[in-house]
Every structure is written in structure tokens, then in C-alpha cells.
């Protein structure tokens, strides 16, 4: 596809775009819009320049009879081809979408909500939650309430998956993360890490654990900024030998 750099005279080319669209064959119907509406195929400018012959004018009644017959057969063939294409698209859609609901009120689910906007990467999280199903909204739609926020949304069952992670497992994971953070902090301060680590509560609202998390986060941010400044400095003031 050609895109002009000026992009200020796009309205001049709309007739050309319409001509190309009406002369292109539709993938679902097998005919171009001009063939279905006018009974003949549009000729491109290249064909007109290369053609040297002259079409002989025949009897109008014969031409009209042949045109009506041709348009009727083209319309019937286009309807059959379009129905086949719709069935094919429906089969492809049904393979990826659940047609029946498998949830109940009170179930924990994840909600599919792909992030959109500038700067979004392919590795961004597409599922939000967990959320709890509050009520049945009808037609396989469910009203869900997110646990991390107070947002209520109505989502189709095809955009929901069950959340099977028990709350006890989440507590164990949080406790392990806090233990790792405490061990990293004590190792950085020169404390003997071979000793038995003290018990760390699973809640991040406790004083010692929260202080460790905030301190480690500030240290990582400082190292990141220092590395970024060094990279920028080398870009503008190259060091000898590099």
C-alpha cells in the first residue's frame, strides 16, 4: 500500500479508491460489487489503453435479455457463496468462544481486558482480577466485582476464566517473598545469613517487612537511574577505548 507523505490531498483520490473497491472481487461472494449491480466487470485504465478494437453495437432487446439473465445467476451464486462464508466464519468463531456459561454466583474469576493505548507492549497483562461473580446479567453475561478495586463490570462468559488459586496459597507465596526480601536486606548489610531467619508475617502492612520492601525498592530505583545516566553519558561523551 502506498501512503503519500503530503496527506493533504486525500479527498482527490477518493473516486479512485471507490473505483478500485467496486472493481475488486469480494472474498465471500466471489463477485465484485460492480458485477452484482451493473452486470459487468469494470475495466482498468491499463485495459482501456491496451485495447484497440471497437465493440459492435447489437440489438438492445438481446443485450437486455442476456444482462438480466447474467445478473440473476450472479446474484444467486453470490448468495450461496456468502452463506458458505458465513458458516465458515461461524465455525471459526465458535472454536474460540464458549457458547454456554459455566459459572455460578460467588465464583472467583479472571476478567479478560487487554490494555490499550500508547506504549503498551505485547507482554502486558491481559487478565485483571481476581473478581467475584455477583449476579447473572442474562444472555451468558455476568456482573463481577473486582477484589483489587471497587469496579463492577458486566462481562460475557467468553471473557471469564475461573480463578482456582486458593487464598492459603497466596498467603504462603507472600510469606516467601517477604522472607527473600529480608534475607537480601540482611546480606547487603553484612549480616550473617547462615543463621536461622526470623519469622516474617505474611502481611505487608507490618512495620519491619514494610520498611525492608521500601528500602529495597528505593535501592533498585537508584541503581536503575545510575545505569541510565551512565548510558546517556556514553552516548554523548564516548569514553576512550569504547
Which residue ranges make up each domain of the chain?
Answer: 10-45+59-96, 108-164, 168-236
| pLDDT at residue 202, rounded to an integer | 46
Mean pLDDT of all residues in 86-98: 76
Distance CA(134)–CA(207), nearest Å, equals 35
Contact 77, 30 (CB under 8 A): yes
User: Does the predicted model carry a pTM greater than 0.75?
Assistant: no
**Of 72-81, 96-105, 194-203, 214-223, which range is least confident?**
194-203
Closest CA to 129 of 118, 142, 116, 144: 144
The rounded percent of the chain whose pLDDT value lies above 90 is 0
Second-level CATH architecture of 108-164: Roll (2.30)
What's the mean pLDDT when you consider all of the chain?
73
Contact 127, 113 (CB under 8 A): yes
Please tell me the total number of residues recorded for the chain in this structure: 242
**For residue 122, how far is the Cα from the chain centroid?**
9
| pLDDT at residue 70, rounded to an integer | 83
Band (217; pLDDT cuts 50, 70, 90) = low
Band (207; pLDDT cuts 50, 70, 90) = low
SS3 92: helix
Band (8; pLDDT cuts 50, 70, 90) = confident
Amino acid at each position: 500500500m502506498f501512503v503519500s507523505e503530503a496527506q493533504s490531498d486525500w479527498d482527490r483520490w477518493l473516486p479512485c479508491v471507490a473505483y478500485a473497491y467496486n472493481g475488486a472481487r469480494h472474498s465471500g461472494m466471489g463477485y465484485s460489487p460492480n458485477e452484482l449491480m451493473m452486470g459487468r466487470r469494470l475495466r482498468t485504465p491499463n485495459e482501456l489503453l491496451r485495447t484497440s478494437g471497437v465493440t459492435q453495437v447489437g440489438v438492445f432487446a438481446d443485450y437486455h435479455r442476456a444482462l438480466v439473465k447474467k445478473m440473476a445467476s450472479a446474484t444467486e451464486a453470490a448468495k450461496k457463496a456468502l452463506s458458505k462464508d458465513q458458516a465458515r466464519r461461524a465455525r471459526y468463531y465458535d472454536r474460540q468462544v464458549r457458547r454456554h456459561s459455566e459459572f455460578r454466583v460467588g465464583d472467583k474469576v479472571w476478567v479478560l481486558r487487554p490494555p490499550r493505548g500508547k506504549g503498551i507492549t505485547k507482554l502486558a497483562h491481559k487478565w485483571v482480577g481476581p473478581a467475584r461473580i455477583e449476579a447473572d446479567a442474562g444472555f451468558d453475561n455476568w456482573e463481577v466485582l473486582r477484589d483489587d478495586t471497587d469496579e463492577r463490570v458486566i462481562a460475557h462468559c467468553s471473557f471469564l476464566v475461573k480463578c482456582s488459586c486458593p487464598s492459603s496459597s497466596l498467603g504462603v507465596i507472600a510469606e516467601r517473598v517477604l522472607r527473600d526480601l529480608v534475607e537480601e536486606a540482611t546480606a547487603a548489610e553484612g549480616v550473617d545469613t547462615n543463621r536461622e531467619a526470623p519469622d516474617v508475617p505474611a502481611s505487608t502492612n507490618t512495620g519491619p517487612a514494610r520498611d525492608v520492601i521500601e528500602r529495597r525498592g528505593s535501592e533498585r530505583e537508584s541503581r536503575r537511574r545510575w545505569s541510565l545516566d551512565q548510558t546517556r553519558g556514553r552516548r554523548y561523551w564516548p569514553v576512550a577505548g569504547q
